[in-house]
Structure formats: C-alpha cells, structure tokens
C-alpha cells in the first residue's frame, strides 16, 4: 500500500508505494481505508521522537500519523485515533472512532478533532469554564487557537482576549469572537500593563495557553497581586510553541488566587476522553458542517509529503493529506 514512513527518529518522512498492509489483531481492532489525515505539531514531534509519549520508542521503520478519516468495510465514514494513519490503510480501535456526518468533507473532519481536544478539553475539564466568564487565549493566531476562540464563544464566554504576533490574524480573530487583542510584538511592560488593565476591570477567569515560554511569564506576572483579595484565575497549559520551561516567581503564586494545570494526553481521565470522542467532537462536527465553526485547511496529496513536510503554513491553517 501507499504510506508515509519514518526510518529514523527526526528524519524527513518518506513516501513509499510498497508498504505491507496492516492487519487487525484483536476483537476491538478493524482496518479502515484512509481518506484524509492532518499533519499537526503532535505528529511532527512524535515522528521526531520528541513528544513525551514517544521518548522511549525504539527506532524502526513505521508509518506515521496519529489520526484520520477513513471508511470502514461496511462503508461508514469515521474519524479515528490510531497509529500509522498516513497510509492507504490503518488499524484503528473500534471504541475510538466517531462517525463523520454526511455534509462534512473528509479534510475538515480530519483537521478538526485535534484542535477540539486542544481547546474544548481545556475549557471544559481543566478550566471548568462557565458561561459569562472572561477567557484569555495566548497564541490564538494558530490553528488550535482560532478554534479555541470560537469554542469559548460557543460555550458562552462573556469576554475573549487574544494574544499573538501576527497583527492581521489577530484582527481577523474579532470576526470569530475575540473582544480584545493584545500584540505580543509590544515591549514586555506594555503587554503586562494591557493585561493588568483588563484584569482589574474584567477579571480574567481562564487562561488557555498554547505558547508557554516568555509570553506565559508575562501573563503570570500580570496576574500578580499586591496583598489584597484577588479574583481566581485558572491557567491551563496546552502547548509550548515558544519553549518548554518558564521562570515562575513564588510571589506570584502567593499573591494571586491562581490555579495552574495542563491539558493533554495523560492529564485527561478515561471518562473525559470518552466525552471528547462520543459527545464533544460529534457536536463540533455538526457546527463545522453547518458553517458555524470556521476551519482553514490546505490539502496536499500523500505523494507530495516529502517536499511539503517542512512547509511554512499561513497562520491558523492546518495541512491535510488526502488519498
Ligand atoms: N494538549 C493538546 O491537547 C493539544 C492539542 C492541539 C494542539 N496542542 C499544542 O498547541 C500548540 C499550538 O498548536 P496549533 O495547532 O495552534 O499550532 P500552529 O497552528 O502552528 O500555531 C502556532 C502559533 O504559535 C505562534 N508562535 C510561533 N512562534 C512564536 C513566537 N516566537 N512568539 C509568539 N508566538 C509564536 C504563531 O502565532 P504568530 O504567527 O501570531 O506568532 C502560531 O500562530 C502546539 O504546541 C500544539 O502541540 C496541544
């Protein structure tokens, strides 16, 4: 079968037309014919052996891709989590598949779930966001950030503050639901002053963070109090585009009512993951199919993967491979 394979961690994945078909093993496994699979940060860092879930993997030739849309032997079209999804065929687990509605195209259905996981799971379960709350999204100009803005609005956020570098994309986020825009291209003092000003007038209940690194330090500094009562802020780390480590002053933790947590594979309970697959993603599929959730994708063919693997994508656009 056609597949995209990796021989060594960290190398550019290679296209081959001759890889052995996968075989389902147990009762819960089934082979699907893949139609589309998105290339996300997760796939790149897993392929590079850098993701925390793949650090102990042994080097061997394997098909890459962690999720995708395919057709079951009975003709049903599903989105599923699995291994080796960048190929004509892949084995999936029957209890990890979601039926794709008829009016949603393969590529959009392949691109959306990872971003839904990266936004709805943090808002719903780690931040326990409630209607009427104020949410700050750090790194909102990315693909997942753009989905997070729309889902936070859909979940009833009263005010949404977005940060990022790209001025054009930041302004475009207003049309998706953002109320206040903070440019990370300003000097540190201006970023802190802007966030403090907002926090003093409309306390920031939830921070959804895709960047970590320096901008997270600035946001946390902005939340520091001066000994008086402070509003509670739940800060949830989802990604670390600009660095895996920060410096965190103990004074910030003592002077503000701050809750720090993370949202990702390993932090969710089995029940929460079940809700993602069986309730949250199906709901978001319906919103996308009806045009209420905007999803920007760029489609490429499997055969072109080698030359396009390192391609710079425009802000907020997801690369999707179709077969
Ligand atoms: N835990 C989960 O469940 C989960 C799920 C999905 C995604 N994620 C993670 O979330 C993160 C974002 O994912 P994504 O899909 O939105 O990625 P993306 O589409 O590639 O967006 C990344 C964003 O990072 C910003 N950025 C890059 N370099 C920057 C810098 N030096 N300073 C400030 N901003 C910078 C860019 O914004 P500007 O162009 O405006 O600078 C870009 O829009 C990734 O780490 C991903 O792995 C986690």
**Statement to judge: residues 255 and 125 lie in one domain:** yes
pLDDT at 177 over 90: yes
Answer yes or no: is the C-beta of 166 below 6 A from any ligand 1 atom: yes
Query: Residue 190 falls within a domain, yes or no?
Result: yes
Answer yes or no: is the C-beta of 117 below 6 A from any ligand 1 atom: yes
Structural domain range at position 66: 3-114+273-322
Mean pLDDT of 29-36: 97
Degrees to nearest 5, angle at CA 121 with 120 and 126 = 120
Mean pLDDT of 133-148: 98
**Statement to judge: residues 313 and 245 lie in one domain:** no
Candidates 43, 35, 52, 48; CA nearest to 9 is 48
pLDDT band at residue 60 under the 50/70/90 scheme: low
pLDDT band at residue 9 under the 50/70/90 scheme: confident
**Statement to judge: residues 218 and 298 lie in one domain:** no
Q: Which of 221, 238, 262 is the last residue of a domain?
A: 262
Contact indicator for 187, 215 with CB cutoff of 8 Å: no
Mean pLDDT of 170-191: 98
**Statement to judge: residues 170 and 68 lie in one domain:** no
So what's the pLDDT on residue 308? 83
Contact indicator for 9, 49 with CB cutoff of 8 Å: yes
**Statement to judge: residues 91 and 140 lie in one domain:** no
Answer yes or no: is the C-beta of 119 below 6 A from any ligand 1 atom: no
Query: Residue 268 falls within a domain, yes or no?
Result: no
22 CA to middle of ligand 1, Å? 33
User: The domain that contains 234 carries what CATH number?
Assistant: 3.90.180.10
Answer yes or no: is the C-beta of 144 below 6 A from any ligand 1 atom: yes
pLDDT at 57 over 80: no
Query: Residue 108 falls within a domain, yes or no?
Result: yes
Q: Distances from the Cα of 235 to the Cαs of 84, 267, 292, in angstroms?
A: 34, 15, 27
Answer yes or no: is the C-beta of 184 below 6 A from any ligand 1 atom: yes
**Statement to judge: residues 172 and 236 lie in one domain:** yes
**Statement to judge: residues 200 and 289 lie in one domain:** no
- Burial label for 102, CB within 10 Å (0-12, 13-18, 19+), is exposed
pLDDT at 61 over 80: no
**Statement to judge: residues 280 and 235 lie in one domain:** no
Contact indicator for 248, 219 with CB cutoff of 8 Å: no
Query: Residue 294 falls within a domain, yes or no?
Result: yes
For residue 160, the cross-strand partners are 135
Q: Number of structural domains, the chain?
A: 2
In angstroms, rounded to a whole number, what is the distance separating the alpha carbons of residues 245 and 258?
Answer: 18
Can you say whether residue 180 is alpha, beta or left, with left for phi > 0 and alpha for psi between -120 and 50 degrees?
beta
Answer yes or no: is the C-beta of 54 below 6 A from any ligand 1 atom: no
141 CA to middle of ligand 1, Å? 8
So what's the pLDDT on residue 59? 59
pLDDT band at residue 58 under the 50/70/90 scheme: low
pLDDT at 287 over 60: yes
Contact indicator for 134, 153 with CB cutoff of 8 Å: no
Answer yes or no: is the C-beta of 239 below 6 A from any ligand 1 atom: yes
Pocket test for ligand 1, best of 165, 178, 186 (most atoms within 8 A of CB): 165
> Which strand (E) or helix (H) includes residue 146?
helix 143-154
Contact indicator for 226, 232 with CB cutoff of 8 Å: no
In angstroms, rounded to a whole number, what is the distance separating the alpha carbons of residues 46 and 52?
Answer: 8
String of DSSP letters for 242-258: T-S-----HHHHHHSEE
Answer yes or no: is the C-beta of 84 below 6 A from any ligand 1 atom: no
Query: Residue 267 falls within a domain, yes or no?
Result: no
In angstroms, rounded to a whole number, what is the distance separating the alpha carbons of residues 292 and 106?
Answer: 17
**Statement to judge: residues 41 and 176 lie in one domain:** no
pLDDT 10s digits, 124-137: 999 999 999 999 99
143 CA to middle of ligand 1, Å? 7
pLDDT band at residue 313 under the 50/70/90 scheme: confident
Query: Residue 94 falls within a domain, yes or no?
Result: yes
**Statement to judge: residues 23 and 100 lie in one domain:** yes
pLDDT at 179 over 80: yes
**Statement to judge: residues 180 and 209 lie in one domain:** yes
Residues 6 or more apart whose Cβ sits within 8 Å of residue 184: 163, 164, 165, 191, 215
pLDDT 10s digits, 226-269: 999 999 999 999 999 999 999 999 999 999 999 999 999 999 99
> Token pair of 260, please?
């720090």
Answer yes or no: is the C-beta of 241 below 6 A from any ligand 1 atom: yes
Pocket test for ligand 1, best of 239, 296, 315 (most atoms within 8 A of CB): 239
Query: Residue 306 falls within a domain, yes or no?
Result: yes
Query: Residue 291 falls within a domain, yes or no?
Result: yes
The strand ranges marked E within the chain are 3-6, 14-16, 29-39, 62-63, 67-71, 77-82, 89-99, 134-138, 159-164, 180-183, 206-209, 232-237, 257-262, 297-301, 318-322
Q: How far is CA 208 from the centre of its chain?
A: 11
- Kindly report the average pLDDT of the chain as a whole number: 94
**Statement to judge: residues 287 and 235 lie in one domain:** no
Q: How far is CA 255 from the centre of its chain?
A: 31
């Amino acid at each position: 079968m056609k597949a995209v394979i990796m021989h060594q961690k960290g190398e550019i994945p290679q296209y081959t037309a001759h890889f052995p078909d996968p075989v389902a093993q147990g009762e819960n496994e089934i082979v699907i014919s893949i139609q589309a699979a998105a290339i996300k940060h997760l796939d790149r860092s897993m392929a590079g052996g850098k993701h925390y879930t793949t650090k102990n993997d042994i080097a061997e030739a394997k098909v890459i891709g962690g999720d995708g849309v395919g057709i079951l032997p009975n003709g049903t079209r599903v989105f599923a989590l699995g291994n080796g999804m960048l190929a004509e065929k892949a084995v999936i687990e029957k209890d990890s598949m979601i039926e794709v509605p008829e009016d949603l195209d393969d590529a959009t259905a392949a691109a959306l779930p990872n971003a839904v996981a990266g936004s709805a799971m943090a808002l719903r379960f780690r931040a326990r966001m409630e209607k009427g709350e104020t949410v700050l999204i750090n790194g909102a100009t990315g693909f997942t950030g753009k989905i997070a803005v729309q889902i936070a609005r859909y979940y009833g956020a009263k005010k949404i503050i977005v940060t990022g570098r790209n001025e054009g994309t930041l302004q475009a986020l207003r049309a998706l639901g953002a109320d206040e825009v903070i440019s990370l291209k300003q000097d540190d003092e201006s970023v802190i002053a802007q966030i403090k000003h907002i926090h003093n007038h409309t306390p920031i209940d939830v921070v959804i963070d895709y960047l970590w690194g320096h901008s997270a330090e600035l946001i946390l500094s902005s939340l520091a109090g001066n000994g008086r009562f402070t509003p509670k802020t739940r800060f949830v780390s989802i990604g670390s585009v600009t660095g895996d480590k920060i410096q965190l002053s103990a004074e910030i933790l003592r002077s503000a009512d701050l809750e720090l947590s993370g949202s990702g594979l390993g932090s969710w309970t089995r029940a929460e993951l079940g809700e993602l697959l069986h309730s949250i993603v199906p709901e978001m599929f319906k919103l996308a199919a009806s045009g209420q959730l905007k999803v920007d994708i760029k489609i490429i063919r499997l055969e072109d993967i080698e030359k396009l693997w390192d391609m710079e994508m425009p802000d907020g656009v997801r690369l999707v491979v179709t077969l």
